[in-house]
Structure 1
Amino acid sequence: MLYTRFDPVFFERTRLSLITIIFREEKVSFPALKRITGLSDGALYSHLQKLVGAGFVSKEKVLISDGAQTVYFLTEKGRKEFKEYLVFMESVIKSHGEVKNE
């Protein structure tokens, strides 16, 4: 099993967390991601820009009652990579037998 088969932009811990949240929610606003992760504006923006630049995440402006806000969603590439990551993690767990709760 190759842990290095995943793009380092995708596989970085904070960005993988962001991808997981976006995958689960489908579309997530910047303020919601900030609230969920506890990241600063600058850190969150930086991680999201790396994901957008690598083609895993896309963004769009949507109108809300008091203006506009940016929402993020996975691209086809991002969904594909995340699903492959889930299959990979499932195989890692299966290859190590039953996980015991301690």
Structure 2
Amino acid sequence: MHILKLQPGQYRAHVMEGQEHLGNYDAGSIAEAILLAAENPLPDLAGFHLWYETVSIGSVAAGEMRQHADLLADRLIERHSMFANSAHVVFPKDADQNGQ
């Protein structure tokens, strides 16, 4: 499941199995999107790979999603904030590269 932020307070979760699109869930929060997917499980899906924008927290069972939607949402937000500005991080040059 891949959750995208459309605008503040508006999220869309896309549920995929391989290349096949299985459905969408529109929600007011990341936790709500997780809960909607867990409460409406699709056939043969025992859980989901959870993504928010460009980060993942791995595979999560539908039961865990129902019980801990808020915690899982917090983990996704925390992970996203860790990497959100990584494209702007400047790393020092390798000291050995210039013989220094």
TM-score by length of 2: 0.35
More strand by share: 2
Higher relative contact order (CA 8 A, sep 6+): 1
TM-score by length of 1: 0.35
Structure showing greater Rg: 2
